[in-house]
Structure 1
Amino acid sequence: MAVKKNEVTGEWGYYGTITHKGKVIHRYKKRGGFKRKGEAIKAEQAYRENFDVAKIMRPSLVELVDQFLPFWKTQVKPSTADQEEKVYKKLIRELGDKDFYEPKVLQAYINECDSKYSKRYVEKIYFSLTRLFKFAVREEIIETSPMVKVYKDARAGEQKKEMSFFEPDEFKRYLSVIEDPRDRAMFSTLYWMGIRKGEMMGLQWKDIDFKNKTISISKTVITLNRLKDNPCTPPKTKNSYRTISMPKSLIKELDEYLEFAKTFTCFGPEMFVFGDDKPISAETLRRKNIRYIKEANRRGYGIPEIRIHDFRHSHASYLINNMAQNGFSDFDIAKRLGDTVETIHSVYAHWFKAGDDKIIDFMDNDN
C-alpha cells in the first residue's frame, strides 16, 4: 500500500499488491488524479476495501469442470457421464474466455443457443450449467448460483417436429438395394425389433437364440465407449432388459448372415454380431444408411430420408397401427420397446390418437 506524487503533473496516485494466503493475487496502479496526498490515500483504501478477493480466486471454467466431473461420475451411469462430458467440453470451447459467473453472460449464451439448437438440446445445456454451479455452491466456491437468474425459452408455441419413419413397403424397397448380408441383417434387426442403436451395436452372437427365435437385450454401446476394452454398459433403464421374439423374415436374414460370419477369424459367442471383436461404429452405421437411402431414391423408390433412431420409430408406428386388429396392447408394445406404457404414450401420442380416431369412425359407421 503506497501513494506517490507525479513530479511532472504534481498529482498524487497510488499503487500496491493484494495478497491471499501469502500469495500475490493482484497488482494495481493509478498514476494520478488526486491533488492532495490524503485524497490518494483514501482512494486506495476504498479500492482495497471494495476489491472482491473471492472473484479473483474463482477457478476458470476448465478448472471448475475438472473438479466437477470426478464427482458427477460417481452419481450417474458411465454412459450418462460420457455423454454429458461432451456438453461440458462444448461449454469450455464457447464460454472459456468469458466471465461465466455473471448471469448476464450466461443468459446471452442461452439465448444464442435458443436461436440455433433444438429445445431439447438447449435444455441439456441449461441443466448441465445448473448442475455445475450447484456443485460450485456446495464446494463453497461461490455463495449463490448465477443460474437462478437465467431462464430458457419454454417455446410454448413451438410445434413438435413430425417423426420420420418407414412404412413396411418403404422398408422393403430400402432393403432391396442392399446386397451385403451383414447390412441386410443389421438394418432388418433395427426395423423389425425396434431396438435402440446402442442395443443393436452391443449384440453378440450369444444373445441370439435361433432355437427359441429370440434376441436378449442386456447391454448397450455408447459411442464414446466403442473403442474401450469393455465398450458395453448396462442398458438405458431397468425396462430395457428384455428378451423379444424375432419374426420369420428377420430369422432368415440373420441365418444367411450367420453362414458368412462363420468365416471370420474372430467368430464365436463373444463376437459382436454387427462388428467383430469391437462393435460397428455409429458413424459407419450412419453413413451406410445414408448411402442406401440415396441409392433407393436414385432408382426412383421415393422413400423418406430417416435417421438410425427413426428405425425404432418405424417399428413403434408399425405396431401401434396394427395392435387393435391383431390382439396385442400398448403394454405389449412398451415391453418390446423396453419402455414404460407412459413413455410410449408420451412419445407416440399422435399415433395412438390416430388409432382412436379409426375406432370412432368404425363405431359411427356401424351404427
Structure 2
Amino acid sequence: MPAYKDKAKGTWYVSFYYENRIGKKEKKMKRGFKTRREALEWERIFLQQKTSDLNMTFEDFVPLYIADMKNRFKESTWLTKEHIIRTKLVPYFGKRKMCDICSKDVMTWQNEMMGHRSEAGKAYSPVYLKTLHNQLSAVFNHAVRHYGLKANPAAQAGNMGKAKNGEIQFWTKTEYLQFIEAMMDKPRSFYAFEMLYWTGIREGELLALTPADFDFEKQTVSITKSYQRMKGRDVITDPKTPKSNRVVQMPSFLCDEIRDYIKTLYAVQPDDRIFQVTKSYLFREMERGCKETGVKRIKVHGLRHSHISLLIDMGFSALAIADRVGHESIDITYRYAHLFPTRQTEMANKLDMERKEDEACH
C-alpha cells in the first residue's frame, strides 16, 4: 500500500483499511513519519500483528503478548516478566521472524545465558536460568495457542537451570537468638525480625502490617495484604497466593512486644503501616547483625525457613505448618523435612525399640 506526503508538515503518513478480529473493516491512519520507508514499515508491522502473520519478528510479536497477558498478572509479577523479555529475550531474538526461530536458536541462547558472567565473575543462578527459559517458553506457547505457530522451539530445546537453588538456608533458634541481640539498638529492626522469625510471615506481608491487623486479646495477626516498592512508589497488593490470606496465632511474648512497639509510634492510625521501611532496609540490617555477631549469613526470607524448621523440630505436622505459613500445598512444606536429620535417627531408634518389644513378647 502507498504512503503519502504531508506537504504542509513535510512528514509522511499511511491511511488504509484492515479487517479486525471479528471480520469488520476499519480504517487506520498514522501520521508523523520522517521518511516514506518508516511509514510503510509501520503499516507492514501493524497488518502483521492484526492478521497474526508470524512472519513478524519476535520484537513485533512481544506487544501482542503483552496486550494479551499483562492484565492477568499482579503488577509486581508482570514487572519481573517484562524486565526479562526486554533485557534477555528481545536483544537476542528480536530481529528474527517468529516462524523461523528453531530449537537450535534457543539452545544457542541457552548456552549464552549459562555462560554469562558478571564483572565479578558470578554466573546466573540455576533458578534464574530456569526462570529465563520459562518466560521464553511462555511467549512461544502463547504464539502456538493463539496465533497459529506450529511448535514451541523452547519446549523442543529442553529446559535449563532448575526449580530450586541448593539447600534451604535457615538458622537454628540458638543462631537467631544470637543475631537478635545485635538488633536491640534499633527497635524497629528488632520487632520486625521478631515478627519474621516467630510467625514465619513473608517480608512483603510484614511490611504491609497495620495496627488494625492485630487482635491482641485473641493474640492473632491477620495476613491479608503484601507490600511492594515498585518504580519508586509504595504498592499494597493481595498476598502471594489465595492460601496466604490467613490468621496467625502469635505467642504471648510476641503480642506484648508488638503492642508495646505500636504504642511508641507517634500518631499512628489503624491503617498506617507500622514498619515503614523497605526490603532493602531489612537486607542491610540483617547484614549488619550477621557481621556484628558472626552468625552465618542467610537471606531475609531465610527467617521464614527458620520458623518452619523450628516447627518441624518441635514435632508439628506438615499440614499444621502449611496452614500457619500459608503454603498453597503441603508438598511445599514437605521440602523442609530433611532439615533435621536427627528426626530420622529418632524414628529409627523408636522403630528398633518397637521391634525389640515384639521379640520380647514372643
Structure 1 length normalisation: TM-score?
A: 0.71
Which amino acid counterpart does residue 345 of structure 2 have in structure 1? Answer: D
| Residue aligning to 2:173 | 168
Give the whole-Å Cα distance in 2 for the aligned partners of 1:159 and 1:232.
27
What secondary structure, in the 3-state scheme, does the structure 2 residue paired with 1:222 have? strand
Aligned length: 296
Question: Which stretch shifts more, 304-313 or 336-345?
Answer: 336-345
Matching residue within 67, 70, 73 for 2:70: 73
What secondary structure, in the 3-state scheme, does the structure 1 residue paired with 2:222 have? strand
Contact 2:57 2:97 in 1 (8 A): no
Which amino acid counterpart does residue 150 of structure 1 have in structure 2? Answer: A
| Residue aligning to 2:143 | 136
Return 5+ residue gaps in structure 1 as ranges.
1-20, 26-53, 298-302
| Residue aligning to 2:203 | 197
1:105 matched to 2:105: yes
Q: Taking structure 1 as reference, are residues 182 and 219 closer, same or farther at Cα in structure 2, changes over 3 Å only?
A: same
Matching residue within 231, 239, 242 for 1:238: 242
Contact 1:218 1:242 in 2 (8 A): yes
Give the whole-Å Cα distance in 1 for the aligned partners of 2:139 and 2:168.
33
| Residue aligning to 1:255 | 259
| Residue aligning to 1:12 | none
Q: Taking structure 1 as reference, are residues 160 and 78 closer, same or farther at Cα in structure 2, changes over 3 Å only?
A: closer
Cα deviation code 1:320-361 (max 9, x no counterpart): 0111xxxx422211111111322201x213137652432222
- What is the Cα deviation at residue 215 of structure 1? 0.7
Contact 2:223 2:244 in 1 (8 A): yes
Which amino acid counterpart does residue 205 of structure 2 have in structure 1? Answer: E
Give the whole-Å Cα distance in 2 for the aligned partners of 1:341 and 1:96.
39
Give the whole-Å Cα distance in 1 for the aligned partners of 2:71 and 2:212.
31
Return 5+ residue gaps in structure 2 as ranges.
1-17, 19-35, 42-52, 116-122, 357-362
Question: Which stretch shifts more, 123-132 or 347-356?
Answer: 347-356
Contact 2:89 2:136 in 1 (8 A): no
| Segments of 4+ moved more than 6 angstroms | 21-25
| Residue aligning to 1:273 | 274
Contact 2:85 2:135 in 1 (8 A): yes
Q: Taking structure 1 as reference, are residues 67 and 172 closer, same or farther at Cα in structure 2, changes over 3 Å only?
A: same
Give the whole-Å Cα distance in 2 for the aligned partners of 1:196 and 1:149.
36
Matching residue within 213, 221, 227 for 1:207: 213
Output the aligned Cα RMSD: 3.0
| Residue aligning to 1:180 | 186
| Residue aligning to 1:293 | 290
Q: Taking structure 1 as reference, are residues 256 and 226 closer, same or farther at Cα in structure 2, changes over 3 Å only?
A: farther
Contact 1:217 1:243 in 2 (8 A): yes
Which amino acid counterpart does residue 201 of structure 1 have in structure 2? Answer: L
Counting aligned pairs with the same residue, the percent is 27
Cα deviation code 1:216-256 (max 9, x no counterpart): 1011123437714xx12211222211111111332233133
Matching residue within 63, 88, 91 for 1:91: 88
Give the whole-Å Cα distance in 2 for the aligned partners of 1:59 and 1:98.
5
Which amino acid counterpart does residue 304 of structure 1 have in structure 2? Answer: K
Give the whole-Å Cα distance in 1 for the aligned partners of 2:260 and 2:136.
49
Cα deviation code 1:46-73 (max 9, x no counterpart): xxxxxxxx77x51452x43232123112
| Residue aligning to 1:39 | none
Give the whole-Å Cα distance in 1 for the aligned partners of 2:342 and 2:229.
35
- What is the Cα deviation at residue 175 of structure 1? 0.9
Which amino acid counterpart does residue 260 of structure 1 have in structure 2? Answer: T
Matching residue within 327, 344, 353 for 2:333: 344
Which amino acid counterpart does residue 351 of structure 1 have in structure 2? Answer: L
- What is the Cα deviation at residue 120 of structure 1? 2.4
- Kindly name which structure, 1 or 2, has the bigger radius of gyration based on alpha carbons: 1
- What is the Cα deviation at residue 292 of structure 1? 1.6
- What is the Cα deviation at residue 188 of structure 1? 0.5
- What is the Cα deviation at residue 154 of structure 1? 6.7
Give the whole-Å Cα distance in 2 for the aligned partners of 1:81 and 1:289.
28
Structure 2 length normalisation: TM-score?
A: 0.72
Which amino acid counterpart does residue 350 of structure 1 have in structure 2? Answer: H
Contact 2:127 2:161 in 1 (8 A): no
1:364 matched to 2:362: no
Give the whole-Å Cα distance in 2 for the aligned partners of 1:159 and 1:218.
27
